[in-house]
């Protein structure tokens, strides 16, 4: 029986699991299993085998000094471990040395080949540089310079462009009164641009402005405001508590408000038709 088997039997007879041993001793599970296997030279640091076994014994309440004396032949030889480690480091150094030597040799070989190719090239004019712009005289004669556009042609092109710009449609808005239904005035708005509605009054009044998309632009006591209308809206509903002191404009066009007469509280409905709206 080796020291690992002895310790494992003690742990199992004590009813202690590996997890409990790991928590109680502070040793990793892998270290515990290595100790219990008896191959102490397989520990991450074999020279610390005595310390690790003492930690193991401490949790099991075993006299570690007597145990280590009893199984002293199972403990790894620190001197032998050092020799093996030095041997391994020496082997690694020799391998690295061979790799570096091979790399340097490869560079020297490529350098020699490059020198040989340069020598051959200089003797046979292989690497003679030629100007990329050298061409045959016949080919050069066939290439004629392009004539610059005449001034008259340039002026005609400029006039055509100005004419096209003048013919381009200018954004416009028209607001037409349709009819009156009770206290509601109905207008048709035809526009080719985004809709901006402005309500301006001399005195504060209750104002409510919304659209058919349930967007509310103005709601409450105010002397007016200027708002940008949602692009998808097609109907605007405006209510003025005291319309007598207010002016309404759509895209700068003042609406015909003569139909309200002496009515104080007026409702406005604007039906919007968009034609090629410019953004």
Q: Is the pLDDT of residue 168 over 70?
A: no
pLDDT in tens, 45-64: 888 899 999 999 999 999 99
> What is the pTM (predicted TM-score) of this model?
0.41
Domain boundary among 45, 76, 107: 76
Contact indicator for 167, 252 with CB cutoff of 8 Å: no
Please check whether residue 138 lies inside any domain of the structure.
no
Does residue 264 lie in a domain region? yes
Domain assignment present for 166: no
- Give the whole-angstrom CA distance, residue 102 versus residue 16: 56
Average pLDDT over residues 222-228: 93
Closest C-alpha to 251, from 263, 267, 264, 236: 236
Q: Is residue 123 part of a domain?
A: no
The answer, yes or no, to whether residue 163 has pLDDT greater than 80, is no
In a domain, 239, yes or no: yes
Closest CA to 192 of 170, 175, 219: 170
Residue 63 domain boundaries: 3-76
Which one of 76, 96, 114 terminates a domain?
Answer: 76
**Which of 58, 76, 94 is the last residue in one of the domains?**
76
Structure token digits, residue 150? 């005449």
SS3 content of the chain, % helix, strand, coil (to 5): 45, 25, 25
CATH number of the domain residue 35 falls in: 1.10.260.40
Number of domains composing the chain: 2
Interatomic CA distance for residues 17 and 47, integer angstroms: 26
Q: Is residue 48 part of a domain?
A: yes
* Structural domain includes residue 165: no
What would the two tokens of residue 257 be?
């408000």
147 assigned to some structural domain: no
């Amino acid at each position: 029986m080796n020291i690992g088997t002895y310790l494992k039997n003690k742990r199992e007879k004590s009813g202690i699991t590996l997890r409990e041993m790991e928590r109680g001793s502070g040793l990793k599970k892998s270290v515990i299993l290595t100790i219990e296997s008896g191959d102490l030279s397989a520990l991450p640091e074999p020279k610390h085998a005595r310390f690790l076994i003492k930690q193991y014994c401490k949790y099991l309440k075993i006299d570690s000094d007597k145990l280590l004396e009893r199984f002293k032949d199972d403990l790894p030889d620190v001197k032998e471990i050092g020799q093996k480690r030095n041997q391994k480091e020496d082997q690694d150094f020799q391998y690295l040395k061979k790799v570096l030597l091979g790399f340097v040799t490869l560079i020297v070989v490529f350098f020699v080949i490059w020198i040989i190719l340069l020598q051959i090239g200089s003797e046979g004019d292989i690497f003679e540089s030629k100007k990329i712009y050298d061409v045959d005289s016949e080919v050069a004669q066939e290439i004629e310079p392009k004539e610059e556009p005449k001034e008259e042609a340039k002026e005609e092109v400029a006039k055509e462009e100005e004419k096209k710009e003048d013919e381009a449609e200018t954004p416009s808005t028209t607001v037409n009164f349709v009819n009156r239904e009770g206290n509601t005035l109905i207008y048709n708005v035809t526009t080719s641009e985004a809709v901006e509605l402005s309500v301006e009054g001399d005195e504060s009044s209750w104002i409510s402005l919304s659209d058919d998309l349930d967007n509310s632009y103005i709601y409450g006591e105010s002397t007016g405001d200027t708002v940008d209308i949602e692009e998808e809206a097609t109907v605007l509903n405006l209510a003025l508590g005291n319309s007598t002191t207010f002016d309404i404009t759509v895209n700068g066009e003042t609406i015909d408000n003569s139909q309200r007469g002496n009515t104080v509280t007026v409702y406005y409905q604007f039906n919007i038709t968009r034609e090629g709206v410019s953004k």
